[in-house]
Structure formats: structure tokens, C-alpha cells
Structure 1
Amino acid sequence: MLLELAITFATTFMAPVQNKQQPAKTQIIYVKESKEPCTGVAPMECLQIKGVNDADWSNLYTNINGFKYTPGYRYKLRVRITQIKNPPADGSSLKYTLTKVLEKKRISSSNQLAAVTGKKWVLVKMDDADVTDGKIWMEFDAGKKRIYGKSGCNNMMGGYSSSGSNITFSKVAGTLMACPDNDVMRREGAFIQHLGDQTFKYEVAGPLVNLVKDGKTILQFRLENKDGGKNTAGSKETVAGKKWALTQINEGTVSNSGIWLEFDAAKKRFHGKGGCNSISGGYTTSGDKITFTQAISTRMACPDADVMHREAAFLKLISDNTYRYDVADQTLNLYKDGKIVVMFGMQEK
């Protein structure tokens, strides 16, 4: 009998202590009107949640049982949170269950569109195909209701208007430079055709903008840092030794203008043509900044008044001015206040 008791006590005290499951708790959370790209087991989109006293949103890597999410609405929910016993290695240890929707509020689409303007959006998907080279991008000018950017090989621009969650593009056009890569040219044509004179439902989801038609995402763009993205940070070595022909001044595309520049890195000088006259001057670079000295030109009068006016406007832009610049996709871009002021295309000498 004593032996049996001893074995019983030994077994009791030697058995591993089991962790008790924590009781469920009820919490009030907010759910944001848009999801954000995140990475769990694989790349995915996460609901954005925060508590009543939280300042920042955080990713929710699981679903809320019983909750039907609609983009464009911000929710206030009461949820029950329970611990999952022995969760899978790649799964959440918490289970969220909806108990009540306390508030559902439509977030103004104009606020969403405001998050798009003034930023550089790079195409990452067209139809069902991923686009990874960053050659197609656009920016929105809210004041002028204009878009501008690159369609792959050529510069592009157009107008846009918005109503509710719809956006309509109009008169989208580009320069007509022929590029040697046929695949780039074909994709450029498809992109312009998709965008031109079309209306889409648009969705802003963190760093992504989706243009949707008939429930299907046709074009998807990702936000790129204009000051630190992969298409920025030119240098005098990449600028020098090449001939740069003017293709855009302010928001107007230019073709066969006769305006071009070349840069001499050793002498820190530039020379070229203003359309009618020969021009030259000095320049310096520092990081992604380029500074031009006063440009000088010959004084030949040309019979075409438009050519003379454009030459004068170009000389005024580059004289005694500093710009942020980059060299990307065979273009030299000069920026002021985040907008392209002058764009050149690389040209054979």
C-alpha cells in the first residue's frame, strides 16, 4: 500500500505542468478602409487594425471570423480574442471573432485620391502579367488635373477627372520615339490603349493603386520614392559624353526642336543648340543636384518666331538654376519641387 502511494505521489509531482489556456477577452478595435501589402508565410495583404488608444495601425495576419470587410469603409468593431492551443508554426496564436459592428463609416474617395497626387507611381502589373523593370510610371498633378510620366520608351501625359471612386483619363498621348526593344514598344502600346479615354474604379491600398474594371484589376501601380527610388541618383559620369535632345519643357512635349546639350565632365562645361543659336555654359554636380551657370548663346536671329520664343524660355530655365536630376531609361530629367521641369532623351551623336 505504501509503495502504491509513493508511486502515485512521485507520478503526480514528476508530471509536466500544463500551461493553462488564457481566458478569452473582449476588445474594441478599428479596421482601416484599405489593406496593406505584408508578408506572412507568403506575400499577402493584411487588414490594418488598431486599438482605441493606439496611434499607429498594425498588420493583422489572420481573419476576423464573422466579419465581412468592404474596402473604402472604416470599421469600429467589438471582437473576442482567444488563444489557440498548439497553433501551427505558420499560423497565428490568436483567434479573432466578431461580436458586434459598432460603426461603419465611408471614407471619402477624394481623401483617397489626395493620397495619390504628387507622388511617383510605377506600374507593377498589367492585366495578369507582372511588370518588374520600372520603365512605366506616372504622376498626378491635382491642381491641373494632369498626369505625366513614362510609358516605357516615350514620355506620356494626359488629363484626368474623378467622381466618387471612379477616375477617368482623357487625351492620353506620348512622344513618338521608336525604341529598339520591340517588347517594350508592344507593352507601351498596350499600356496607352488601356489608359487612354477610359474610366476605372480606383482603389488605394497603402503603397498600391489599383485601376479596376468589371471587378478585375487592369493596372496596378506601386509608390516609389522620387528622391530615393531605383530610378534616381544620376551622376556627372552618366550625364557626360552623351548628347541629350529636349523632349519635354514644363508640361509640354517637344519633338524635333533642335535643342540639345552635351556635358564635358573634365571642364565642367556644357554646349549645344538652343533651337536656333549655339549655347554654352558651366555646370557643377553634387549628389543628385546639378547647378547651371548663366548660359550664353550666339545672337543669330531666326525667321521662326516660335523657335526663338522656345529658345529664350529654355535658356531662362537652365541659366543660374539648380535642379534635382536623374538619368533613367535613356532620359535625363531635371526636377524642381518634385516635378519634371525639363526632360531630355539620349540621342546618337
Structure 2
Amino acid sequence: MKKVFVSLCMAGALVALSSCRSSKDAATLSSISGEWNIIEINGTAVVPAPNQEFPFIGFDTSTGKVFGNSGCNRMMGSFDVNAKPGTIDLGAMASTRMACPDMTLEQNVLSALGQVKKYKKLGKENMALCGSSNRPIIVLQKKAPTVKLSDLSGKWMISEAGGQAIPEGMEKQPFIEFNLAEKRVHGNAGCNLINGGFVADNENSSAISFPQLVSTMMACPDMEVEGRVMKALNEVKSFGKLAGGGIGLYDASNTLVMVLVKK
């Protein structure tokens, strides 16, 4: 069995190698748009740990933003949308700094992305990220939509807003609660109560916004957290599941602006 597995992997690697050199698999900028699971690094299949999702990377080809998760931490960066089609430089990726029990996969992902210079189609659904020598470094598989509006039901604590963690032990811990039947939300921004409706999109399961939020007008000694929470909510345009659990709320450029964890 082992010999068969090795031969299959070698065959896959050879297919990927030829694709990086083949003009018939040339890719346009629009072909990398969206979110992709990272399923192979340097010829080795990525095998997530139990209860762990695949690391993924997303490309917003309208803004040049890159985002994703490398196996533990969120990653973000940018790329030149005006570069020659098929070329891309991901050497300046940044990431959050959370520590996880095993950082091996994350280190492999970030190291591989730092070597990427080109991209090519790989079959009908996959994409190969290649180095300057045309060697395939990473194989991507289109990430199927995995979120639906019902995923938001119930009460969520706001653990992060505007890229910063919400301090623990606040007298009024920020939260938001979704009433899907009435398309309304209720919560606390850290000082004041918030109420209002939300707008979803039947054609885009991950789209959501909060155009009609109102809050009470009580003054608290420290309004900094509340300011970040309200600003983030006003910027939200979409949501998605986060690796390791929780829900991420994103702005129009797919930048994560809020993290929700189940109450």
C-alpha cells in the first residue's frame, strides 16, 4: 500500500510540475480570485489535525488584498494587481502572533508563500503557486462556501474589534445577538446597548451588513472599546467561519474587523 501511495504522490507532483511550465494552463488575474484551501506544500499533502480546517488563502483581485489562515494565525498582505498575468509576489505577508500547540504547518505555509512568484491553473479546479524556477510550491483547491445565515443564530461575545482584542473582565463585555426570524440584532458595545436590523443577500450566503444600528447615549469612563466596536460593525460587509471556531466579520476589502465567539 505504501508503494502505491508514494507512486501516486509522485505522479501528482509530476502533473503539477508540468502545469507550471505549460502555456495551456496559463492563468489570468481573475482566475485566482476568491478563497482557496492549501492542500499541498512542496509535494506533500496537507493533513489538518483533528477538528482543524485546512489553512487557506484568499485573493481580492479588485483591491489587491490577500488574507487567510496559515494553520494557527490569520495572515494578511497585498499583491500588485497590475503585474504581468501569471506573476505574483507574496513575500511580504504579515500574520497575527497567537501561539498554538504545533506550529509546524504554519511555519511551512508561511515559508512556502515567501517563495511564490507565479501562479498557474492545475486541472479544472486547482491552482499551483510556483517559485521563480517554475517549481510548484503550493497547490490550492477552491474553497467551497461553508457559511450560511443560520450559522449566526444566537448570542456571540465580541472577542476582537478593529484588529485588537477586547480586554477581559470589562464590566459590560461586548456582545451581539442575532434574531434571524426578525432580521434584527441586539447587544452591548462595551458601554451602551445596541439595537437594529441587518441586511443579508440571498445570492451571496456570506454577505451581511448593519445599516440601521442605534445605541443608547450613556457616557462611560472609557469609551475606546465601544468606539472600535461601533466602527467595526458599521464597516461589516460579509462573514465567515474562522479556523479553530468562531465567526469573522469582514469589511468591503475582506479585512477582518471583528471576531465573534459563541456565548
Alpha-carbon separation, structure 2, partners of 1:154 and 1:190 = 13
Structure 1 portions without partners, runs of 5+: 1-41, 46-67, 75-106
Distance 1:303 1:171, change over 3 A: farther
What does residue 35 of structure 2 align with?
120
Task: Select which of 60, 80, 88 maps to 1:141.
Answer: 60
Task: Select which of 161, 171, 191 maps to 2:109.
Answer: 191
Structure 2 portions without partners, runs of 5+: 1-7, 13-17, 168-172
The structure with higher relative contact order (CA 8 Å, sep 6+) is 2
Q: Does 1:173 align with 2:72?
A: no
What does residue 71 of structure 2 align with?
152
Residue 122 of structure 1: CA displacement?
Answer: 1.3
What does residue 209 of structure 1 align with?
127
Task: Select which of 22, 26, 46 maps to 1:131.
Answer: 46
Which amino acid in structure 1 is aligned with residue 188 of structure 2? Answer: G
What does residue 73 of structure 1 align with?
23
Distance 1:297 1:282, change over 3 A: same
SS in 1 for 2:141: strand
Task: Select which of 141, 147, 167 maps to 1:222.
Answer: 141
Structure 1, residues 18-37: CA drift from partner, whole Å, max 9, x if none? Answer: xxxxxxxxxxxxxxxxxxxx
SS in 2 for 1:235: helix
Residue 262 of structure 1: CA displacement?
Answer: 3.4
Q: Does 1:255 align with 2:176?
A: no
Structure 1, residues 17-66: CA drift from partner, whole Å, max 9, x if none? Answer: xxxxxxxxxxxxxxxxxxxxxxxxx9988xxxxxxxxxxxxxxxxxxxxx
Distance 1:310 1:137, change over 3 A: same
Structure 1, residues 308-339: CA drift from partner, whole Å, max 9, x if none? Answer: 76455235336xxxx55343432313457794
Which amino acid in structure 2 is aligned with residue 240 of structure 1? Answer: G
Alpha-carbon separation, structure 2, partners of 1:283 and 1:69 = 48
Please provide the CA RMSD for this pair. 4.1
What does residue 4 of structure 2 align with?
none
Task: Write the mapping of 1:20-35 to structure 2, written as runs, cut at 5 A.
Answer: none
SS in 2 for 1:156: strand
Sequence identity percentage: 18
Radius of gyration: which is bigger?
1
Structure showing the higher strand proportion among its residues:
1
Alpha-carbon separation, structure 1, partners of 2:222 and 2:156 = 30
Residue 220 of structure 1: CA displacement?
Answer: 0.9
SS in 1 for 2:92: strand
Alpha-carbon separation, structure 2, partners of 1:260 and 1:178 = 24
SS in 2 for 1:167: coil
Task: Select which of 224, 234, 257 maps to 1:316.
Answer: 234
The TM-score normalised by the length of structure 1 is 0.52
The TM-score normalised by the length of structure 2 is 0.65
What does residue 200 of structure 1 align with?
117
SS in 1 for 2:189: strand
Distance 1:201 1:316, change over 3 A: closer
How many residues of Structure 1 are paired with residues of Structure 2 in the alignment? Answer: 229
